[in-house]
């Protein structure tokens, strides 16, 4: 049974975000406010590449003191493509236990097939995730037409026990999800929004404009364009840089909301260099090295990614120092 957004909103209980209601034998899923700043947390490994759960708990204890909205577990910076399914689910379970009571845990649940993605959504919900981030399938990217992607996300959202956030990350997948597909999906009552990492501000603004009234929210996928994304209507961001500079990222959000645009712009400018360093320039090894420079546990990467060279560490430290973060 299809339920329009207007009827869907009338069914909402004011205290019940993220829960489920049964109506005419149909499960109606509550829409979730996903606004705010999230780090797509780095997965900490020991020297033997096993997961360092003790270090994970130490990092979360520090992040819990920052006004982050929550945590994205198994995003691109979590090296999830190198983890077994059981490791992915177990990480979410550990984060859900350690997260502060006010933190929203979002789990990366994307798989290449629709049926495996549905299965992973259910497992992540059982592990404690209150929403799932679903990346575009990409191995057969030549076959991922607009209709194929629409059908994939619709089937996933129909079956997921928690709200779905679309994840478009063309830098990793080679697929820049078309605005018309996102706009079409925005009316689904169990799709809460999209994380767009492409960096096209006009696209973000267009999606915000065309999805107005659909209880659909847009998250920026990088700290390098967080302020411009806010200006055109985004409600927050999922950003690698928030792993190490969560405080400044949240400060940028606060400055924008208070209308202190000149200060927000200056802070945005300072975040661009470090963000570029831990994303495009050095990637996950750079992210983990930068975390260690700022008192968090980064640890090794999982093979076949190579560790960061000392010369690149020196360059990274110089970038952080130049912008006043070290």
User: In this structure, how many other beta carbons lie within 10 angstroms of the beta carbon of residue 81?
Assistant: 13
The whole-angstrom separation of Cα 326 and Cα 292 is 11
Backbone angles phi, psi at 72, to 5 degrees: -100, 120
Residue 194 Rama label (left phi>0; alpha psi -120 to 50; beta): beta
**Residue whose entry in the numeric block shows the structure tokens 């339920």:** 3
Could you list the beta-strand ranges (E) of the chain.
20-23, 26-29, 36-38, 70-73, 104-108, 131-135, 164-168, 191-196, 217-220, 236-238
- Any residues with CB less than 8 A from the CB of 230 and at least 6 apart, and which? 220, 253, 256
Torsion of CA 32, 120, 110, 101, to 10 degrees: 40
Is there a contact between 92 and 105 (Cβ–Cβ < 8 Å)?
yes
Choosing from 29, 62, 103, 195, the catalytic residue is 195
- Which of 110, 125, 106 lies closest to 19, judged by CA? 125
The whole-angstrom separation of Cα 196 and Cα 238 is 9
Is there a contact between 64 and 30 (Cβ–Cβ < 8 Å)?
no
Q: At what angle do helices 261-276 and 246-257 cross, to 10 degrees?
A: 150
- Which of 195, 27, 12 lies closest to 108, judged by CA? 195
* Helix, strand or coil, per DSSP, at residue 219: strand
Tokens coding 280: 């495009």
> Is 62 one of the annotated active-site residues of the chain?
no
Catalytic positions, written as ranges: 195
């Amino acid at each position: 049974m299809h339920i329009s957004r207007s009827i869907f909103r009338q069914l909402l209980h004011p205290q019940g975000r993220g829960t489920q209601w049964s109506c005419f034998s149909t499960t109606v899923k509550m829409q979730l406010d996903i606004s705010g700043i999230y780090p797509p947390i780095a997965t900490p490994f020991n020297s033997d590449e096993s997961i360092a759960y003790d270090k994970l708990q130490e990092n979360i204890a520090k992040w819990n003191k920052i006004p982050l909205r929550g945590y994205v577990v198994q995003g691109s910076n979590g090296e999830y493509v190198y983890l077994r399914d059981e490791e992915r689910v177990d990480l979410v379970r550990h984060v859900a236990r350690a997260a502060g009571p006010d933190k929203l845990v979002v789990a990366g649940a994307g798989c290449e097939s629709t049926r495996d993605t549905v299965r992973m959504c259910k497992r992540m919900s059982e592990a404690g995730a209150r929403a799932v981030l679903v990346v575009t399938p990409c191995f057969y990217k030549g076959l991922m037409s607009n209709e194929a992607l629409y059908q994939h996300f619709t089937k996933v959202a129909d079956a997921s026990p928690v709200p779905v956030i679309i994840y478009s990350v063309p830098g990793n997948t080679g697929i820049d999800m078309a605005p018309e597909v996102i706009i079409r999906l925005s009316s689904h009552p169990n799709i809460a929004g999209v994380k767009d990492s492409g960096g096209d501000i006009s696209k973000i603004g267009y999606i915000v404009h065309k999805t107005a009234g659909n209880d659909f929210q847009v998250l920026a996928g990088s700290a390098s364009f967080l302020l411009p994304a806010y200006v055109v209507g985004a409600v927050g961001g999922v950003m690698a840089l928030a792993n190490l500079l969560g405080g400044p990222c949240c400060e940028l959000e606060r400055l924008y909301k208070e209308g202190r645009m000149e200060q927000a712009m200056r802070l945005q400018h300072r975040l661009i260099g470090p963000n570029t360093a831990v994303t495009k320039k050095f990637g996950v090894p750079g992210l983990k090295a930068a975390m260690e420079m700022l008192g968090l546990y980064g640890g090794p990467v999982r093979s076949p990614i190579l560790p960061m060279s000392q010369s690149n560490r020196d360059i990274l430290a110089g970038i952080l120092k130049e912008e006043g973060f070290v």
